[in-house]
Chains A and B, each alone.
Chain A
Amino acid sequence: KQEVTQIPAALSVPEGENLVLNCSFTDSAIYNLQWFRQDPGKGLTSLLLIQSSQREQTSGRLNASLDKSSGRSTLYIAASQPGDSATYLCAVGLNALTGGGNKLTFGTGTQLKVEL
């Protein structure tokens, strides 16, 4: 069974810092890995999608890397801002193998607070 872990569980940083969020998974047979942002009580906003054949993806101040062989992904946030405060979730996509349909397994999340 795929297990996805995120470290740290919570992080508080001053504005302007560069930071790294970590995600590890136990089964390397993944289709892709997706990073999401979730504000309190809200839905999930997709940040970056990395296909299993890719090593990294970038969008603005965000950069995500994927190392399938070691079962790790990192999300790098440059020049953090108070508006970045949210919970960040990584999720790996696995083939459900039977009957079609993919299974997305989420990590435990990192709660980020960026202070003024």
Chain B
Amino acid sequence: DTEVTQTPKHLVMGMTNKKSLKCEQHMGHRAMYWYKQKAKKPPELMFVYSYEKLSINESVPSRFSPECPNSSLLNLHLHALQPEDSALYLCASSQEDRGIYGYTFGSGTRLTVV
């Protein structure tokens, strides 16, 4: 298995809702990442988990809460989002935390906040 699987592919949520994005990989990768991509912009790093521990938080608002229950799974919990949080959320993984062997990205979750 050489894929990063993200679910759901699309999500529409209200500003008072709580939802979660899920990311899974079975490549034995030990680092996992969340990126946010707005339309016609490059992806921007949000969080890095290295060996199941949060190692980087790029000053992301607390309405985004990451969780890494085990080495194969990464979640992003969403609460009280704003319409400007609508974006494509990409998950990625790398074999180890320096990314020497490159990164594998999932197909993303298209999030719309109404």
Asked if chains A and B come from one complex, the reply is yes
The chain A residues found within 8 Å of chain B, CB to CB, are: 31-32, 34, 36, 41-46, 49, 51, 89, 91, 93, 95-96, 99-109
B99 touches A43 (CB 8 A): no
Question: Can you identify 14 A-B contacts, CB atoms within 8 angstroms?
Answer: A31-B100, A32-B99, A41-B88, A44-B90, A46-B103, A89-B42, A93-B98, A99-B56, A100-B53, A101-B49, A102-B31, A102-B48, A105-B45, A107-B42
Most chain B C-beta atoms within 10 Å of own C-beta, residue among A41, A45, A51: A41
Interface residue tally of chain B, by bracket?
20 to 34
Return the 4 tightest CB-CB contacts between A and B, nearest first: A106-B42, A101-B55, A101-B48, A43-B107
Contact B105 A95 (CB under 8 A): no
Are A46 and B48 neighbours in the complex by a CB distance under 8 Å? no
Q: CB-CB < 8 A to A106: which residues of B?
A: 42-44
The verdict on A46 contacting B105 (CB below 8 Å), with A96-B56, A99-B56 known, is yes
